Amino acid sequence: MARTSWFDDKAEHALIQEQVTKLQSFTDALADGIVSQQEVNGQEQRLIAAMKKLEPELSDDMHAKVTTVLVELTAYNVMRLLHELHTERARLAFSRP
């Protein structure tokens, strides 16, 4: 399987988000504008399955590096979500007639 880079040609921007938008389960979950608890649970199960498949193949050093990436990615996703929610809340508060 050919490797898909995680970065653009200049290594300035992560391309993971672009790959996420091609993920069928993700696009299906967003199709109606509401992400249900069932859809979140399904994504969690797919994540756990992928992690269980990968983890035994990693050396201790690579395991530590992948763990760091997963933690940083999770922190980024939570921070980005909170920032977007805050920005939207501020936009709505100041756009009221």
Cα angle, residue 79 at apex, residues 71 and 73 outer, rounded to 5° = 25
Evaluate whether residue 4 is within a structural domain: no
Q: CA 28 from chain center: how many Å?
A: 15
- Domain span including residue 95: 59-97
Nearest C-alpha neighbor of 74 from the set 90, 58, 51: 51
The pTM for the full model equals: 0.76
Residue type, 5: S
Evaluate whether residue 6 is within a structural domain: no
pLDDT digits (tens, 9 = 90+) for 10-65: 766 778 878 888 899 999 999 998 999 999 999 999 999 999 999 999 999 999 99
| Angstrom distance (rounded) from CA 36 to CA 19 | 22
66 in the same domain as 45 = no
| Angstrom distance (rounded) from CA 81 to CA 66 | 22
82 in the same domain as 47 = no
- Number of domains, the chain: 2
